[in-house]
């Protein structure tokens, strides 16, 4: 059976070498562990066969940790992501291809990856033996995937930041960091809380990260409501018809978990402990210009009778004026009070935190109810928030940052629920 798989893999590899120049740098990854009493791993034995069939040794890679098809996919993905490969061809037993496809499609989602499946002729096992084994493997599939991602995920404790402003009876809140999750692709590791099909973190890992957060904060993982983060100012009041897109949520419903995403953009949480109304907003530079947080305050005021002087606000980890360098077209969107120019620097920096602080005060929020850094110039660069760390220049790289990590960036969230 092993010989047939290797022969088919070699044939597919050679066909690509001949048919397309762009595939000349493809690799042949052979996977299989070394069992007790064995001299060579299964992958090493297959390598010998591949070399005998004319494959250059430099293009043969071994994955020798996997002890199951699930781990085959998991550890192979780590190698493929390291090589920045987007197209794979999976060779397995003809009989096992349906199960292999379910597993590999879990880890290699479209459109980031394109996966093709090729079945080698089956072994001499009887159909009855194969069917019985395959049915058992399929029944255990999702359980085994869960075990795999949790076994090899981060062992670090979740790092969740809490604002003293929100020490309110019945209120559960926190701002997440990168630590304590199961995502493995380095820019997205490890507690990524947003699935994007164009990034290399599979949905199954994001789902497990949410489960970990829910368990740590004693929340119902099925009660989470997440805005889409489209950089507008639309806000969904839960109970109204759900918009196609929105960057904020406001609700007076108890037990509902609302979140605000951030990966340089500001996750903004709002709470009126008197009326027991909560809100969450995603405020990037566009949302800040559009004053989405002030818009949330207005909705809390008009729809739920909130008094702005009762509303408390906290802003989580996001890009600070120390690092938010912008082009001229973005700079021109802001009042000069929030533009910072430095000698010998062609581009200006913008103080999103300070801009938000001032706009919320203009909406009637009291200064003592704002866990948001005051404008940079007024504080001479000293930040005054307990939860607003700069995502880009954090010395311990505790947060996801679009600017720091590039297009394959993860997402942390501000999370809020009223019991």
**133 & 62 share domain:** yes
Give, for all 419 residues of the chain, the pLDDT tens digit.
688 889 999 999 988 877 765 555 789 999 999 888 888 999 999 999 999 999 999 999 999 999 999 999 999 999 999 999 999 999 998 888 999 999 999 999 999 999 999 998 865 556 676 777 778 888 899 999 999 999 999 999 999 999 999 999 999 999 999 999 999 999 999 999 999 999 999 999 999 999 999 999 999 999 999 998 899 999 999 999 999 999 999 999 999 999 999 999 999 999 999 999 999 999 999 999 999 999 999 999 999 999 999 999 999 999 999 999 999 999 999 999 999 998 888 899 999 999 999 999 999 999 999 999 988 866 666 666 889 999 999 999 999 999 999 999 999 999 999 99
**78 & 202 share domain:** no
Domain end among 151, 178, 197: 151
CATH number at residue 40: 3.40.50.620
**167 & 303 share domain:** yes
Q: Got the DSSP string for 276-330?
A: TEEEEEEE-HHHHHTTHHHHHHHHHHHHH---GGG-EEEE-SB--TTT-EE-HHH
Residue 51 has, within 13 A of its CA and on its CB side, a CA count of: 11
State the pLDDT at residue 376. Answer: 80
Query: Which residues 6+ apart lie within 8 Å of 258 measured at CB?
Result: 224, 225, 238, 249, 251, 278, 279, 280, 415, 416, 417
Q: Where are the alpha helices (DSSP H) in 108-263?
A: 127-139, 141-151, 203-217
State the pLDDT at residue 383. Answer: 64
CATH number at residue 329: 3.60.140.10
Overall number of domains in the chain:
2
**367 & 234 share domain:** yes
Q: Rounded to an integer, what distance in angstroms lies between the CA atom of residue 372 and that of residue 311?
A: 13
**147 & 55 share domain:** yes
What's the DSSP call for residue 391?
Answer: T
Strand partners, 116: 89
Q: Rounded to an integer, what distance in angstroms lies between the CA atom of residue 216 and that of residue 93?
A: 41
**143 & 9 share domain:** yes
Q: Is 159 exposed, middle or buried (0-12, 13-18, 19+ CB in 10 A)?
A: middle
State the pLDDT at residue 284. Answer: 97
State the pLDDT at residue 228. Answer: 85
**134 & 261 share domain:** no
- Domain that residue 139 falls in: 2-151
Contact between 391 and 178 under an 8 Å Cβ cutoff? The reply is: no
Omega before residue 313 within 30° of 0, cis: no
Contact between 251 and 258 under an 8 Å Cβ cutoff? The reply is: yes
State the pLDDT at residue 95. Answer: 83
Domain end among 111, 132, 151: 151
Q: Is 85 exposed, middle or buried (0-12, 13-18, 19+ CB in 10 A)?
A: middle
**40 & 172 share domain:** no
**210 & 236 share domain:** yes
Q: Rounded to an integer, what distance in angstroms lies between the CA atom of residue 151 and that of residue 182?
A: 9
**313 & 271 share domain:** yes
**299 & 388 share domain:** yes
State the pLDDT at residue 142. Answer: 92
Q: Got the DSSP string for 178-193?
A: STT----SGGG-S---
The CA angle 32-33-38, to the nearest 5 degrees, is: 120
Write down the pTM of the prediction: 0.93
**133 & 250 share domain:** no
Domain end among 133, 151, 169: 151
């Amino acid at each position: 059976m092993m010989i047939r798989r290797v022969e088919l893999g070699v044939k597919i590899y050679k066909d690509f070498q001949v048919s397309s120049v762009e595939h000349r740098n493809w690799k042949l990854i052979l996977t299989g562990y070394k069992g007790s009493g064995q001299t060579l791993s299964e992958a090493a034995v297959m390598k010998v066969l591949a070399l005998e069939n004319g494959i250059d040794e430099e293009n043969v890679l071994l994955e020798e940790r996997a002890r199951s098809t699930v781990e085959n996919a998991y550890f192979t993905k780590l190698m493929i992501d390291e090589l920045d490969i987007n197209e794979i061809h999976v060779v397995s037993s003809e009989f096992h291809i349906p199960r292999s496809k379910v597993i590999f499609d879990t880890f290699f989602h479209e459109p980031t990856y394109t996966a093709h499946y090729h079945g080698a002729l089956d072994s001499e096992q009887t159909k009855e033996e194969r069917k019985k084994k395959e049915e058992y493997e399929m029944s255990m599939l999702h359980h085994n995937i869960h075990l795999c991602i949790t076994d090899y995920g981060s062992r670090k404790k979740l790092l969740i930041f809490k604002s003293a402003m929100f020490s309110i009876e019945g209120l559960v809140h926190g701002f997440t960091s990168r630590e304590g999750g199961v995502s493995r692709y380095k820019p997205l590791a490890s507690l990524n809380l947003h699935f994007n099909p164009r990034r290399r973190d599979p949905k199954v890992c994001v789902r497990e990260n949410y489960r970990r957060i829910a368990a740590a904060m004693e929340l119902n993982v099925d009660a989470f409501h997440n805005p889409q983060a489209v950089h507008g100012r639309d806000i969904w009041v839960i109970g109204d018809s759900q918009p196609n897109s929105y960057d904020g949520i406001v609700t007076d419903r108890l037990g509902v978990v609302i979140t605000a995403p951030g990966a340089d953009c500001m996750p903004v949480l709002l709470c009126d402990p008197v009326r027991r109304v909560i809100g969450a907003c995603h405020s990037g530079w566009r949302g800040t210009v559009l004053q989405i947080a002030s818009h949330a305050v207005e909705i809390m005021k008009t729809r739920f009778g909130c008094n702005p002087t009762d509303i408390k606000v906290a802003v989580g980890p996001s890009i600070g004026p120390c690092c938010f360098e912008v082009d001229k077209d973005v700079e021109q969107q802001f009042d000069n009070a929030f533009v910072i120019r430095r000698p010998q620097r062609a581009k200006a920096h913008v103080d999103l935190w300070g801009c938000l602080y001032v706009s919320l005060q203009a909406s009637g929020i009291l200064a003592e109810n704002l866990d948001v850094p005051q404008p940079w110039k007024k504080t001479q660069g000293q930040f005054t928030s307990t939860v607003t760390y700069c995502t880009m220049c954090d010395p311990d790289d505790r947060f996801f940052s679009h600017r720091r990590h590039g297009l394959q960036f993860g997402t942390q969230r501000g999370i809020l629920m009223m019991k």
